[in-house]
Chains A and B, each alone.
Chain A
Amino acid sequence: MNSQVHGAVRFDGVRKNYGSVTAVKNLDLTIESGQLVTLLGPSGCGKTTTLRMIAGLESVSGGQIHIGGKDVTHLSATYRNVSMVFQSYALFPHMTVIENVAYGLKVKSVPKKEAHAKAEHVLTLVGLAGFGARLPSELSGGQQQRVAVARAVVLEPEVLLLDEPLSNLDAKLRRHVREEIRQIQQDLGLTAVYVTHDQEEAMAVSDRIVVMKNAEIAQEGSPVDLYEHPNSAFIADFIGDANLVQCGITKTNGEFAEVEAAKRRMQIRNPLGCEALANMVIRPQDIVLSKPDRNPGFSGTVTYAAYLGSQIQYTVDSELGELFVVGGATPQPFTKGDVVGIQFDFEKVRLVG
């Protein structure tokens, strides 16, 4: 399996309309083979529709889809060499685990013995050796999830599609399973497209992330790219938490801009070349709160403080507007009503449109 060359997916100006509603607008997208690419976005952004168009479960209103260099735009799902892990797992309840995993081979007329041997092998791969005779209902949620993955990868698909595969698992299991999925994908060298609305999950598993908003791509890049170099306020806010503080630009000089906020001027990095009005992206963990009298800076009042063990989250009403601040669990945390001084390193702040 490792040696197999897996095809890439290419979208050329793909559109999808449901009546007058546009689900996907002129999408151009290339997915390199062997990569795990995540389609990330708020609900209704078109990410699931995009995934289902790769699978062939949704027809295309315009444009072309290529898988492995072949035009599959009008090919039905049955004949596309892709397989999918569904949000609900969609395990056939009347078949045993091994029958589920061997189903795809069986309908391709692979002899039963061979099909079961292959299925058994893949079950071992996902850590479910010996579970073949059980029914899906006799497995835990995490185990069902792994059967769904096994059923999809046993066909050695050109593209593996995963539609919010972790959303039915509890939070603790989620981290474990996503590591497993990533491991299997890398071991088998599969090309995978992963849909989720959870940015943390996307950051953890992806080679590349495609963030979608309103039926369009908002930004695509590696997890680091998206976090460090957001191209819009939406991305900055969506990938990791961010405080967006509106400010006026008084002067631009190359990579930097002089901005004014709360009657104070600052030199801030301006990679996008914003002019006039912009937003400062200040990450919550970059803000340091202090006793008010200690340093010159901004000041504010703590309106909410939540103790979470490893950290404390504050909401601070300040001259810059409402700020979300994450602080270490210091011995003497601030409480609601405290007046605080606010500092942050201008170096780490970025301007976005």
Chain B
Amino acid sequence: MARTLGIWLIVGLVGACLVPWYLTNGGLLSLNWIGGSGTPENNPILLLALIHGKLWLLPVVAGFPIIATLLVLRITPAKRAKLISIIALSVLVYVAVQGFLVVRNGPVLLNDVFHVLGAEDGQAGLGIGALLVVLSYLFILTTAISMSGNARGDAFVIGLIGLIIALVAVFVFFPISQILLQSLKTDAGGYSVTGFLKRFFSGEVWRLDCLNGGTCGPAINSIFLGVLTGAGTTTLGLSFALIFTRTQFKAKKLLRVLTIIPIITPPFVIGLALILLFGRSGTVTTFWADLMDMQATRWLYGFWGVYMAQLLSFTPIAFLVLIGVVEGVSPSMEEASQTLNANKWQTFRHVSFPLMRPGLANAFLLGFLESLADFGNPLVLGGNFNVLSTEIFFAIIGTVADPAKAAIMSIALLTLALSAFVAQRMWLGKKSYATVTGKADSGQHASLSPKLKLACYLTALPWALFTAIVYSMIVFGSFVTLWGYDHSFTFKHYLQAFAIDFSNGIRWKGVAWDSYFTTLTISSVAAPLTAILGLATAYLLVRQKFAGKNVFEFSTMMCFAIPGTVIGVSYVMAFNFPPIEITGTSIILIVMFMFRNMPVGVRGGIAAMSQLDKSLDEASITLGANSFTTIKRVILPLLGPAILAALAYSFVRAITSVSAVIFLVSAKHNMATSFIVGRVEAGDYGLSIAYSAVLILTMLLAILLLQALIGARRLRRDNRVR
């Protein structure tokens, strides 16, 4: 253990003595400070504190010699561990506190103190040196805790817990708290709770005027839309799931495709396709207008358009969830019912359906959550129908920037989303009739009664056809010169976006290349990090016991419920200023993707790890391997498919994400989705659709590639996991 402490002590000393403490001009990872130590900003903290008069930084460095002394001092191990952890924790807290207090125009109360310390000019954002020093103290702290006899002395596990807690605290709770702070701000510059409450519960957010002809507040619109979308997607999803699992339907494979498509579709693409069909100059609209001799209307832009787009977007998700639910009803229950002389309809009505009810509730809440968080469709189709996610966006980006309004709307959205999330967790926790026991449950699911089967076919199949038409629009639309006016075949959109000029070496001439490459790079960097973070969290949740595990689990899964728009706004508010100043960099995008997509990895990891018998780990541990070796040699090799799935999901979700991205992109780091949204707003549908098609194709290729790998892995571990 002392060795581990020594290593982290060295890391910390390197961070304190050799690399710059502050963010340098080139960014966090740039190396331009080497050789350029002339300016104070490029100095390590040791020199800053001793030579450049930044005295308040001294305690940060002082921790290291004290800990080193404690290591060689002759005291009982328990006492040593306790003292070291106290010191490491105090330094960490001090770093945070000084980061918030020592800023330009810091607290008036401390002016005199700051003057003495030379701190009145504030300081730059934390840099690579600070990162190393903080990590060093963090792991010294966790190692010391593990030495004090807790958690059976596993330094690796405690270090992992500490790291994840620290990351979630900095990149989830800190930004969210910034929103809360912002919303409490008054125009005068102070903070007021009553002012916040007054504005929060005002008609601006919650008005109900649409009941008598006016327009409702965005929160009401969001709830209304969410409830209808949840109900709609659950009904459609159930129909699909019943057809898929309980009938002899011929084209089941095609239905399967339907479940993969939305994963690789950027959220606004459905909206775009709908515009091509039902917009002012859309095919269907003009057809009807000609037929009925009516004026083409803009009915699509508003509630109905958004609702339709959301149903199309989220039904497949409900389908995916409900397949599991419908299959989870044990066949023996249905067989028991039938042997008790119930007919197929009675069996469904009184046995199967009640058993599915918690699953249906889950699917409904999922649909509600997705609808709340959806940003792309309301942005493209919303018109005057305002929902919270778009209101937040316009409050930040619109002609009159109003951060307070954005904060208030964010809190409303967050409250709704978290309530739904909590409701979902409680419902699932209390009322799960999971009848999958792990025992082989032979027997056949009851087939559907003829009436129910007909009802399912009548709802699901037209919808499937409609979905197919909508998606084919994406292909057609990209090859048509100008939809609705000039239907001649053309490659011009693709050329405009993706032309390459070979005349003078390779020149990436197309307008889309820039954002395309950025997207691929950032997604490929973010994907493995997300997968690691997610799987590590899953490992802790499934395999380790520690105090506060429930809170830990809840807060990591909560990241899933925080709508992207809220994340985007909170990151802008939190990371635009020191101590952590990373807006405009690619780091903020990567970090955002990590925490937004982590729950996918967590869930995949939990599912996969729950299937691995825990005694495998225990066998490894009792044979003398430590947790790290156990993960490396036993768990990871057996998790192959789950790792690849987590990688694929995080990669794809990073590409399709738009809601949070749109706040965080910069001229230097523009992402494909925000580029396309810009083009859509400019009315450039051809290019947008062509680019979207290329994105979908890219992701399809990535998924197929990964699936080929997963398939290969499966063959090797066939039947080998007991």
- A residues near B (Cβ < 8 Å) are 55-57, 59, 74-80, 82-84, 86-94, 103-104, 107-108, 135-137, 151-152, 155, 161
Q: Find out whether the CB atom of A84 lies under 8 angstroms from the CB atom of B622.
A: yes
The smallest beta-carbon distance between B611 and chain A, in angstroms, is 12
Q: Find out whether the CB atom of B152 lies under 8 angstroms from the CB atom of A74.
A: yes
Chain B, 49-71, CB within 8 A of any chain A CB = none
Interface pairs A-B: 7 shortest CB-CB: A104-B623, A93-B720, A90-B615, A90-B619, A74-B149, A107-B625, A76-B152
Q: Find out whether the CB atom of B624 lies under 8 angstroms from the CB atom of A155.
A: yes
List, in ascending order, chain B residues with CB within 8 A of A94's CB.
637-638, 717, 720
List, in ascending order, chain A residues with CB within 8 A of B613's CB.
88, 90
List, in ascending order, chain A residues with CB within 8 A of B151's CB.
59
List, in ascending order, chain A residues with CB within 8 A of B619's CB.
84, 86, 90-92, 151
CA distance A55 to B719 in the complex (A): 29
Query: For B151, B624, B625, B629, which residue has the most chain A Cβ atoms within 10 angstroms?
Result: B624
User: Contact mask B604-628 → A, CB, 8 Å, 1/0?
Assistant: 0000000001011011111111110
Q: A75-B152, A83-B622 are in contact. List 6 more A-B contacts (CB 8 A).
A: A57-B621, A59-B151, A91-B619, A91-B722, A94-B637, A103-B620
The smallest beta-carbon distance between B152 and chain A, in angstroms, is 4
Contact of A107 among B149, B154, B623 (CB under 8 A): B623
* A56-B152, A107-B624, A155-B624 known; A84+B717 contact, CB < 8 A: no
Indicate if B425 sits at the interface (CB-CB under 8 A).
Answer: no
Query: For A77, A80, A104, A161, which residue has the most chain B Cβ atoms within 10 angstroms?
Result: A77
Indicate if B350 sits at the interface (CB-CB under 8 A).
Answer: no
Indicate if B721 sits at the interface (CB-CB under 8 A).
Answer: yes
* A56-B152, A103-B633 known; A84+B638 contact, CB < 8 A: no
Indicate if B153 sits at the interface (CB-CB under 8 A).
Answer: yes
Offer 24 A-B interface pairs, CB within 8 angstroms, sorted by A: A55-B622, A59-B151, A76-B152, A76-B154, A77-B152, A77-B622, A78-B627, A89-B722, A90-B618, A90-B619, A91-B619, A92-B633, A92-B634, A93-B721, A94-B637, A94-B717, A104-B624, A104-B625, A107-B624, A107-B625, A107-B626, A107-B633, A108-B624, A152-B623
Q: Find out whether the CB atom of B625 lies under 8 angstroms from the CB atom of A103.
A: yes
Contact of A83 among B623, B629, B637, B722 (CB under 8 A): B623
| Chain B residue, CB-CB nearest to A151 | B623
The smallest beta-carbon distance between A175 and chain B, in angstroms, is 24
List, in ascending order, chain B residues with CB within 8 A of A90's CB.
613, 615-616, 618-619
Query: For B622, B626, B634, B638, which residue has the most chain A Cβ atoms within 10 angstroms?
Result: B622
| Chain B residue, CB-CB nearest to A57 | B618
Interface bin, chain B? 20 to 34
Majority secondary structure, B binding face: helix
List, in ascending order, chain A residues with CB within 8 A of B615's CB.
86-88, 90
CA distance A75 to B152 in the complex (A): 6
CA distance A87 to B615 in the complex (A): 9
| Chain B residue, CB-CB nearest to A73 | B149
Chain B, 132-186, CB within 8 A of any chain A CB = 149, 151-154
List, in ascending order, chain A residues with CB within 8 A of B623's CB.
83, 103-104, 107, 151-152, 155
The smallest beta-carbon distance between A51 and chain B, in angstroms, is 11
List, in ascending order, chain A residues with CB within 8 A of B637's CB.
94
Q: Find out whether the CB atom of A75 lies under 8 angstroms from the CB atom of B153.
A: yes
List, in ascending order, chain A residues with CB within 8 A of B638's CB.
92-94
The smallest beta-carbon distance between A266 and chain B, in angstroms, is 50
CA distance A92 to B615 in the complex (A): 10
List, in ascending order, chain B residues with CB within 8 A of A75's CB.
152-153
Contact of A57 among B153, B622, B629 (CB under 8 A): B622
Contact of A136 among B153, B620, B720 (CB under 8 A): B720
The smallest beta-carbon distance between A93 and chain B, in angstroms, is 4
Query: For B152, B153, B616, B633, which residue has the most chain A Cβ atoms within 10 angstroms?
Result: B152
The smallest beta-carbon distance between A71 and chain B, in angstroms, is 11
List, in ascending order, chain B residues with CB within 8 A of A83's CB.
622-623
List, in ascending order, chain A residues with CB within 8 A of B153's CB.
74-76, 79
The smallest beta-carbon distance between A59 and chain B, in angstroms, is 6
CA distance A302 to B618 in the complex (A): 51
| Chain A residue, CB-CB nearest to B637 | A94
List, in ascending order, chain A residues with CB within 8 A of B621's CB.
56-57, 76-78
Query: For A59, A108, A161, which residue has the most chain B Cβ atoms within 10 angstroms?
Result: A59
| Chain A residue, CB-CB nearest to B629 | A107
CA distance A152 to B620 in the complex (A): 10
CA distance A56 to B151 in the complex (A): 11
List, in ascending order, chain B residues with CB within 8 A of A89's CB.
722
CA distance A301 to B627 in the complex (A): 63
Chain B, 680-722, CB within 8 A of any chain A CB = 717, 719-722
List, in ascending order, chain B residues with CB within 8 A of A78's CB.
154, 621, 624-627
The smallest beta-carbon distance between B143 and chain A, in angstroms, is 13
The smallest beta-carbon distance between A72 and chain B, in angstroms, is 11
CA distance A274 to B286 in the complex (A): 101
CA distance A56 to B619 in the complex (A): 12
CA distance A89 to B720 in the complex (A): 13
List, in ascending order, chain B residues with CB within 8 A of A88's CB.
613, 615, 722
Chain B, 622-654, CB within 8 A of any chain A CB = 622-627, 629, 633-634, 637-638
List, in ascending order, chain A residues with CB within 8 A of B622's CB.
55-57, 77, 80, 82-84, 161
The smallest beta-carbon distance between B145 and chain A, in angstroms, is 13
CA distance A83 to B152 in the complex (A): 17
Contact of A93 among B154, B620, B629, B722 (CB under 8 A): B722
List, in ascending order, chain B residues with CB within 8 A of A152's CB.
623
CA distance A107 to B628 in the complex (A): 11
List, in ascending order, chain A residues with CB within 8 A of B627's CB.
78
CA distance A193 to B621 in the complex (A): 18
* A94-B717, A104-B624 known; A59+B722 contact, CB < 8 A: no
The smallest beta-carbon distance between B153 and chain A, in angstroms, is 4
Q: Find out whether the CB atom of A77 lies under 8 angstroms from the CB atom of B618.
A: yes
Q: Find out whether the CB atom of B618 lies under 8 angstroms from the CB atom of A86.
A: yes
The smallest beta-carbon distance between A22 and chain B, in angstroms, is 17
| Chain A residue, CB-CB nearest to B618 | A57
